[in-house]
Protein backbone atom coordinates (compact mmCIF):
# COMPACT_ATOMS: atom_id res chain seq x y z
CA UNK A 1 0.00 0.00 0.00
CA UNK A 2 1.12 3.49 -0.70
CA UNK A 3 -1.39 5.79 0.95
CA UNK A 4 -4.13 3.77 2.63
CA UNK A 5 -3.70 0.50 4.48
CA UNK A 6 -6.62 -1.88 4.39
CA UNK A 7 -7.38 -5.49 5.21
CA UNK A 8 -6.32 -7.99 2.57
CA UNK A 9 -9.46 -10.10 2.74
CA UNK A 10 -13.07 -10.15 3.84
CA UNK A 11 -12.05 -9.98 7.50
CA UNK A 12 -12.59 -6.58 9.06
CA UNK A 13 -10.60 -7.32 12.19
CA UNK A 14 -8.16 -9.76 13.74
CA UNK A 15 -9.15 -13.41 13.45
CA UNK A 16 -8.07 -16.71 14.94
CA UNK A 17 -5.21 -18.37 13.05
CA UNK A 18 -7.07 -21.57 12.24
CA UNK A 19 -6.60 -23.55 9.01
CA UNK A 20 -9.55 -21.94 7.20
CA UNK A 21 -8.63 -18.34 8.07
CA UNK A 22 -4.95 -18.85 7.23
CA UNK A 23 -5.91 -20.22 3.82
CA UNK A 24 -8.15 -17.22 3.11
CA UNK A 25 -5.45 -14.78 4.20
CA UNK A 26 -2.73 -16.59 2.24
CA UNK A 27 -4.80 -16.41 -0.95
CA UNK A 28 -5.51 -12.73 -0.36
CA UNK A 29 -1.83 -11.91 0.24
CA UNK A 30 -0.80 -13.75 -2.93
CA UNK A 31 -3.05 -11.39 -4.93
CA UNK A 32 -1.41 -8.21 -3.61
CA UNK A 33 0.71 -6.33 -6.14
CA UNK A 34 3.58 -4.04 -5.21
CA UNK A 35 3.51 -0.49 -6.52
CA UNK A 36 6.13 2.19 -5.81
CA UNK A 37 7.09 2.74 -2.15
CA UNK A 38 5.59 1.55 1.11
CA UNK A 39 3.86 3.81 3.61
CA UNK A 40 4.78 2.19 6.93
CA UNK A 41 2.92 4.84 8.93
CA UNK A 42 -0.42 3.96 7.32
CA UNK A 43 0.21 0.28 7.97
CA UNK A 44 1.08 0.80 11.61
CA UNK A 45 -1.94 3.09 12.11
CA UNK A 46 -4.17 0.27 10.86
CA UNK A 47 -2.38 -2.32 13.00
CA UNK A 48 -2.68 -0.26 16.18
CA UNK A 49 -6.36 0.43 15.43
CA UNK A 50 -7.04 -3.28 15.06
CA UNK A 51 -5.23 -4.04 18.31
CA UNK A 52 -7.38 -1.41 20.07
CA UNK A 53 -10.55 -3.07 18.75
CA UNK A 54 -9.43 -6.39 20.25
CA UNK A 55 -8.23 -4.97 23.56
CA UNK A 56 -9.51 -7.65 25.92
CA UNK A 57 -7.96 -7.77 29.37
CA UNK A 58 -5.89 -10.90 29.70
CA UNK A 59 -3.08 -11.64 32.11
CA UNK A 60 0.14 -10.19 30.73
CA UNK A 61 -0.59 -11.07 27.10
CA UNK A 62 1.99 -10.01 24.56
CA UNK A 63 0.73 -7.73 21.82
CA UNK A 64 2.97 -7.77 18.79
CA UNK A 65 3.07 -6.37 15.28
CA UNK A 66 5.19 -8.08 12.64
CA UNK A 67 6.40 -6.14 9.62
CA UNK A 68 7.67 -8.02 6.57
CA UNK A 69 9.27 -5.73 4.02
CA UNK A 70 11.67 -5.57 1.13
CA UNK A 71 12.83 -2.12 2.16
CA UNK A 72 11.88 1.45 2.80
CA UNK A 73 13.03 4.68 4.40
CA UNK A 74 10.02 5.58 6.58
CA UNK A 75 10.77 5.20 10.31
CA UNK A 76 7.12 5.82 11.32
CA UNK A 77 8.36 7.48 14.53
CA UNK A 78 5.31 9.69 15.07
CA UNK A 79 2.85 6.80 15.03
CA UNK A 80 4.92 4.93 17.63
CA UNK A 81 5.12 8.01 19.85
CA UNK A 82 1.35 8.46 19.59
CA UNK A 83 0.15 4.85 19.77
CA UNK A 84 2.90 3.06 21.68
CA UNK A 85 4.49 5.45 24.19
CA UNK A 86 4.60 2.80 26.95
CA UNK A 87 6.01 0.17 24.55
CA UNK A 88 3.14 -2.23 25.38
CA UNK A 89 3.05 -3.41 21.76
CA UNK A 90 6.24 -5.06 20.57
CA UNK A 91 7.32 -4.63 16.95
CA UNK A 92 9.24 -7.32 15.08
CA UNK A 93 10.61 -6.38 11.67
CA UNK A 94 11.72 -8.77 8.95
CA UNK A 95 13.76 -7.71 5.94
CA UNK A 96 13.05 -10.23 3.17
CA UNK A 97 15.48 -10.75 0.28
CA UNK A 98 18.80 -9.22 -0.73
CA UNK A 99 18.86 -5.41 -0.77
CA UNK A 100 21.15 -2.46 -1.01
CA UNK A 101 19.04 -0.07 1.07
CA UNK A 102 19.58 1.37 4.53
CA UNK A 103 18.36 -1.12 7.14
CA UNK A 104 18.43 1.45 9.95
CA UNK A 105 14.76 2.52 9.64
CA UNK A 106 13.30 -0.95 10.15
CA UNK A 107 15.95 -1.86 12.71
CA UNK A 108 15.03 1.19 14.78
CA UNK A 109 11.31 0.34 14.60
CA UNK A 110 12.02 -3.01 16.24
CA UNK A 111 14.65 -1.89 18.73
CA UNK A 112 12.68 1.17 19.88
CA UNK A 113 9.56 -0.94 20.49
CA UNK A 114 10.96 -3.90 22.47
CA UNK A 115 11.07 -6.09 19.40
CA UNK A 116 13.75 -7.56 17.21
CA UNK A 117 15.03 -7.13 13.67
CA UNK A 118 15.63 -10.14 11.42
CA UNK A 119 17.17 -10.50 7.99
CA UNK A 120 15.63 -13.25 5.88
CA UNK A 121 17.75 -14.00 2.79
CA UNK A 122 14.93 -15.38 0.63
CA UNK A 123 11.19 -15.94 0.59
CA UNK A 124 11.77 -19.66 1.07
CA UNK A 125 13.39 -19.04 4.46
CA UNK A 126 10.48 -17.06 5.93
CA UNK A 127 8.88 -19.93 7.84
CA UNK A 128 12.14 -20.91 9.55
CA UNK A 129 13.15 -17.36 10.47
CA UNK A 130 9.81 -16.14 11.74
CA UNK A 131 9.79 -18.69 14.55
CA UNK A 132 12.74 -16.94 16.19
CA UNK A 133 10.53 -14.16 17.55
CA UNK A 134 9.22 -16.70 20.09
CA UNK A 135 12.67 -16.78 21.71
CA UNK A 136 12.52 -13.01 22.20
CA UNK A 137 9.00 -13.16 23.64
CA UNK A 138 10.13 -15.87 26.04
CA UNK A 139 12.83 -13.77 27.63
CA UNK A 140 12.12 -13.18 31.33
CA UNK A 141 10.92 -9.88 32.75
CA UNK A 142 9.63 -8.57 29.44
CA UNK A 143 6.11 -7.72 30.58
CA UNK A 144 6.50 -7.62 34.35
CA UNK A 145 8.67 -4.47 34.51
CA UNK A 146 9.41 -3.49 38.14
CA UNK A 147 7.12 -6.18 39.54
CA UNK A 148 9.41 -8.94 38.28
CA UNK A 149 11.45 -10.91 40.73
CA UNK A 150 15.05 -11.61 39.88
CA UNK A 151 15.77 -15.22 39.04
CA UNK A 152 18.14 -16.82 41.51
CA UNK A 153 20.13 -19.82 40.29
CA UNK A 154 21.25 -22.47 42.76
CA UNK A 155 23.34 -25.61 42.52
CA UNK A 156 21.65 -28.90 41.69
CA UNK A 157 20.00 -30.52 44.69
CA UNK A 158 21.25 -34.07 44.19
CA UNK A 159 18.79 -35.72 46.57
CA UNK A 160 16.00 -34.62 44.27
CA UNK A 161 17.44 -36.57 41.34
Position 155 scores a pLDDT of 59
Contact predicate 35/2, CB 8 Å: yes
Position 91 scores a pLDDT of 95
Mean residue pLDDT of the chain comes to 80
Instruction: Answer yes or no: is pLDDT of 47 > 50.
Output: yes
pLDDT in tens, 103-150: 899 999 999 999 999 988 877 777 777 777 777 777 765 555 555 555
Class of domain 19-160: alpha beta
| DSSP element (H, E) containing 47 | helix 40-53
Instruction: Answer yes or no: is pLDDT of 161 > 50.
Output: no
Contact predicate 43/74, CB 8 Å: no
3-class DSSP assignment, residue 93: strand
Cβ neighbours for 42, distance < 8 A, ≥ 6 positions apart: 1, 3, 4, 5
Domain boundaries, the chain: 19-160
Amino acid sequence: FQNVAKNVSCFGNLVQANVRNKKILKNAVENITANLSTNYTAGFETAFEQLKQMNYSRANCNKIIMLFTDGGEDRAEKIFQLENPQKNVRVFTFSVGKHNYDKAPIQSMACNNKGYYYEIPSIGAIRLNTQEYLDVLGRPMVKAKQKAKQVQWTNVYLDAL
